[in-house]
Structure 1
């Protein structure tokens, strides 16, 4: 036993303790045993700041320890607000009636990154949640001091960890003094004095500790001397985290400031419940999993997967609960604890808007324990995890199909033919005929919504149109269908070949209308009006280029009305990094990336043997002709480290290019076999097509780099067109990007954004004109050194980063709408560049 005053240790680390507990500890004069802690500052930082960015999750770790200690009751006391005086500050307490700790227990507690829970029998019949032995370090993100007072076998123990001891320490440094936790045995009177503030704050907790029927064993953990992160603490969020993330079972109750928490439950009328396992688990059967009456067994995951997927009539993610947490999505539990509270998708790509907000899947997968990351908030990617995600996705798709079927059934009595049967032919039929006639005779589809057959020989077009007009007399729409076309595709489509009206229920505006409607009628009527408006514009003889721009701006406005701002920079880069193993996710990630580069994205998903996506670049008229260009692509995924040339169908992509009347095409994947070897099969095949069938082969990392260059400097559509012309092989793509980065960063100075934005702001003073890039450039000698396209590209990059609420560039005429002042836009650009992208905004010289 070493003699040391606990108060002396505290006084060295802090001049004026703020809580009652800290003042009590300063008055202590008992002897203590020094518990050695083999720890370094790097370990604490990695295992706390790196894992627990939320104050609420750090508190949850302390409650998890109570659960593992066999507690039946846990009392969490939050520091009271309303006083700015540090000396009146409360402690944050977590009090439980678990097994308690003696000297041996405290020694075990401070074995950092070691856990004995796997070797000990379950307490109260529970399997322990913790397994890494680092949960106690979560306290480091919130406070400098963690104190435990525990009762076991009629004796009381006190230990305080002062994290200031390890600031700047490096592991295995012989010159550094040892890090220790003073452990004391105290009497009951002293224990009551230390815990005195609890008596006034929570009478039930005090009774648990010292009442007539107090628990035979207990532990009280206190956080004091709080850090900056505690300013983000919100009681409502903590309540949601504890109710949702931890097992609230019959023998385990959590009290928050004296109020018992009830398990978070879904609200609303249940439409469908799909249990895991049993004879009707079609999803598990299709995936060839072993099915039992109580669950399913997934290869590589020990034990059974159990749970129920539920679909509700109304959205679960709305109302006051949104400020605290989510009620929908996947809730994956390991030994009763949710491991993906902050990831509703569990790493799966974004799912259908309308059904997703009504879907909740509580799934118990105790076998994931061996796959958990040290934060216990995620899993290591592997084949078993991939199979689990496939199963989760299949369950959702089954619920989504049911939801769509229900919605279609609600359309009974809403016959679109009946709605339009009395409409005048001059209002409906004649405009559609004229619009279809124009699209048949144009080299590219001139209509935004109306699609005509592309394979009708020229000499047969008139007879086809005559037959189409006859069919139209029966009604403009023969069939109505809601489809999941994709969130970035058109709101609707009218296919003249079969007179089918397709409504894209994944379009944010349509999804919003559907989620707030009793049936599909409002979405149907709105889509119908869009088709007719498009046809009337064609009949009026308005230039197709102008009308396309009009509908593009209208689509953007509809998306913003629905609350969808398009893909943000951080999301785009993250999706490109994680989408390599899922084809649908990769298709969409590539589309999102090109949207940020200034393209329009039409997701095809390989439907009917076509490309995965079509990308359109709008450049408008050049010196002699329209310079717009179109690109098709094919996204490839693989479970192995790279993609072999045998899985690349250059011929099919070339056919896609021709059928879409595209100018370029590319194949993209995470890596290709032999991509660094000029003589490899993939590079030989790519080079051989240079003369007659040029196609680009690129990796997701290369596309990510192109996007990053755009965010940092502003890459023009003309430069991207040059990229597809010059760069075909992997090496050529790398060389082009190297050259482009050198050109943007050194040979050409960065666009002086500050000067350009201030020039645009001055233009706002003219009430008769709109701020325009060309007009500002014409009046500024410095800006004249830059091409208009480069200035526009730089502003589009700014728009992508800060959002169209702040600034919006009209691609057709280079008008700029500024939602804030130039200085405010620049400040927001700097903030988001650093926070979300880790970049430094290059604003150039001042005005």
Structure 2
């Protein structure tokens, strides 16, 4: 085995007292094996340490799996080094001195490390970790062997003692062969590190590498480090000699310009707001407050610059104001301006150089005083931001207006309204799975796997759109109206939601789809515009209740009316109203009356020449079967007499079964001519009205001739057994037949016989007769708005089958291709 550099350090002079590291092996393994399982994360942590030390340059060497020559990992940085106390603090596990007040004053950047445990990630890739560091005129080193931390059955921690060594001989970096090899691999010359080029620096050397370290792939590590790199010009990272650029540097840009290019109208606005004349001079904007000039550049990316691992180091969006090379607003992206245009905010990056602000810097050198020059500077930043937004909106509009795409490919629904917005909120929120409900899950958005979130964001930011689909599921009446899964480009519509149930079969399902799309994206827009999670939850809850309430207030669909009837079985007043609405849906002129001595409602139907028929409507709600006393047949007959009605239709959840009370109920109903229906029977009748062409006459036929529950049940059963075809299905079958006949027998007219032959192939219509098909064809022609004529036996088409389907959608309650092809959604 090769001699390790860590072992060679033992020959150097000890400095100060030995370090005591109190750490159990169990904790080392816990942190390294569970908190930092990835060898890539271990390297990333050491790079973060370099950033925290205010390094301008960080050089990393990691051997490739095929590299058998180099058995070490090295990280060099030119940041603030450590003295003896710094090395002591380095191995105080569970705390970090990086954020102590005195340390913060020395450093320029926001510090990331907080608990001092990141270095334990090194245990994932190596057993020995050596730090060599320079500060002042002294170079110190310390080595920790992670195998020295032993398991202890007594649960007491045995401290590990390690010595701090001083490197006095500057030629040591040239004469030590292994160290020279490490420096060379890292891209550092021995004379540079031992000389005066770097005033302070730190070298982290990892030896006795683990199997995980030997399997690190260069491409993967480079990508990991690139995602961790912010758009920061004063921190340069090299991996095996190759510069690692922030992954955000390759983002496609909407806008890019130099601030000296601000147009004349912006400079005029600046003059009005600051009282000073502004001019473009070379690459600078100058005024009385800024005689040296303000320079800089701006760009706007298509993907958001917010979020990601690089946010741990420093933000990549907003203004970056530098005074004599020093960043003065690292925690204030807008330099005190109010955040406007959030769609732009997280894509906006501006590097601004204003050395004339130097005189206004506070002693802390972190913020500037409230002065005229500061106010004027903010006016300048506001004009830069507003001009950028103008260019951003213009660029988006230009992309939306591209005319070089075919129909169905050009985006009428811009990605900035859908995909980019969703991607932005996922990037901007570190807890990207947190949403607006009380339990902090998303209200409408459905995210299945955190592991694939990065891939999803990348996909959403790509120009090519995966067309959206709408699927229908039964999630229960209290569940949300929609769940939007951006990963599969699917909107899952809850068929049981009151609003969805009202429109799902009414030939306007496309409108329903558009409503749920807007509703799902409203949550995204609110998040994008920084509305609080609790406020979003409240808003969406109120909107959901409003949608439900509107449907309860005015129902149209047979399915909704039937469902409301079933739901009202135990509610006295709601059952009365639902009964009247059900009668109205079947063709009666129905009125809700109620009140003592009155029926619950009246239903009138006039047939010519048969005249007017009137029945009273009575509702008896009950959790269980109502008792005979509760029904009070005599009072119901009195209502019939008082209203001069022809009969009475009584609805109850159920009636007494095989008992003395049952026979008494049967007898009274028959004697007093009270037609006894269950809630379920009437609901089923309403639900089937459109499909089976039921109407008021069918109700009257039963209500005026069948009175006992058994008689009513028998007549309803007989009616449903009659071979009456579902008209909507028959209409659609005829249209399908016309479609299948397209291109066949071109020299023959489309006749009812040809269509009947096609329709009868369908299992649903095996026993159908030609007269039923002729009747349906005639109805289709009458409703086709000139698209089709039926002159028995010929069916004459005046439009395509697709257009005929569109014109008949209110009759067939089906779906049809839109007249303009969509680039947003699939037609299914």
TM range (shorter): 0.3 to 0.5
TM-score (norm 2): 0.38
TM-score (norm 1): 0.37
Larger Rg: 2
